[in-house]
Amino acid sequence: MEKIAFFDAKPYDKEWFDKINKDYEIRYFEGRLRPESAGLAEGCRAVCAFVNDVINAKTIDRLSELGVEVILMRCAGYNNIALNAAKGRLKILRVPAYSPYAVAEHAMGMILALNRKIPRAYIRTRDFNFSLVGLTGFDLHGKTAGIIGTGKIGRVFIDICKGFGMEVIAYDPHPAENAGIEYVNKDELFKRSDIISLHCPLTHDTRYIIDESAIALMKKSVLIVNTSRGQLIDSEALLSALNEKRIGGAALDVYEEESGLFFEDNSDKIVTDEIISLLVSRPNVIITSHQAFLTEEALRGIAEVTLQNFDDFLQGKPLANEVKPKE
C-alpha cells in the first residue's frame, strides 16, 4: 500500500480524507512541511501539503533524497512552492477548484457583517447593551461592486452581488468571453467601486495590486474584501488608509504574513506582528483565519481531487492538475 505523508493536518482534514481514502496509508502530521520536518516523509511516495507549508528548495531537496515523487497540494494556490527546484524531480499536483460557492459566499458574509456592524452588535447585546448608536450601514442595492479576478469564484461572487441589486464591474487581464460582465481597467474600478473584492491568484503582476497608489483612487467609504491571497494587499498601506479614514473598512480572510499565525490557536501567546495586531483592533476591520473554503462540500471536493490526482500519477494517466514552472 502506497503511503502519503500528510502535513499540517487538522481534524477536518482527517475526517474527510479518511472518509474518501480507500487505497492508501495516510500518515498525518500536525506540523507544517518545512526543511526540518521533511524527514517525516521517509518511506512515503507522496506528501500532502497546504498553502502555508514551506516548500522551498531545501524542502524539495530533502524530499527528493527520501524518494518522494509527488507533492499533492490540497488547495488551488502554489505560490509557496519553489517550482524550479522541483522541475524534473517531483511532480506538483493541486486542486484547482473545489467549491467556488464556499469562498464567494464567505466574501459576501464578511461584507454584510462589516457593513452592518454585526459583530459589534452581537458583542453589545451579549452585555444587554441594545443601543443602535454607531451601527449604521448602507444599502448594498444600487451600489457598485468591483471584482478583481473573474474565474469561477469571481463569477459566482458576481452573481451574488447582482442578486443584491448591485451594479458590477470587473478587472481581469484575461476577460471571460460572453459572460455578460462589464470589464474596466484597474484605475476605473478603484474609482467607481463601493465594494472591492479580490478573487485572483497571487502572481508577479497581482502582488500588492492594492497598494498606496490604488487606495488613493478609491472612495473614502469603500469596503475592501480579500478572500484570495494575503500579498494581494500591501498591509502597511491598508493600515495607514484605515488610520487616516481614507477607506471605509476592510474584511480579510487572508493576510500576507499569515504563515505560522493562521490555522493555529495563538490566544495564549503574545503576537509580535504589529500590523495584524493593529488591524484586529480597528472597529471597521473584520479578520477571519483563512476559512472561506471551509464548507462540507469544499472539504469533500478537496479530498476527492487530491486522492484522484495521486491515482492518476500512479496509473500513468494524464495529470490534468499538474503545476509546472514557466519555461
Task: List active site positions.
Answer: 229, 258, 290
Q: Distances from the Cα of 177 to the Cαs of 122, 170, 172, in angstroms? A: 43, 13, 11
Q: Would you state the cell numbers that stand for residue 13, as one nine-digit string?
A: 482534514
Provide the β-strand partners of residue 224: 196, 250
Q: Cβ neighbours of residue 41 under 8 Å, at least 6 residues apart?
A: 5, 47, 63, 66, 68
Helix residue ranges per DSSP H, 144-210: 152-163, 186-192
The amino acid occupying position 120 is R
Sequence length of the chain is: 327
Strand runs (DSSP E) across 152-238, as ranges? 167-171, 195-198, 223-226
- DSSP state letter for 176: P
As given in the structure block, the three cell numbers for residue 239 are: 493600515
Residue 63 CA: distances (Å) to CA of 3, 39, 174: 14, 7, 36
- Of residues 107, 116, 172, 171, the one with CA closest to residue 140: 116
Task: State the burial class of residue 167 (Cβ atoms within 10 Å of its Cβ: 0-12, 13-18, 19+).
Answer: middle
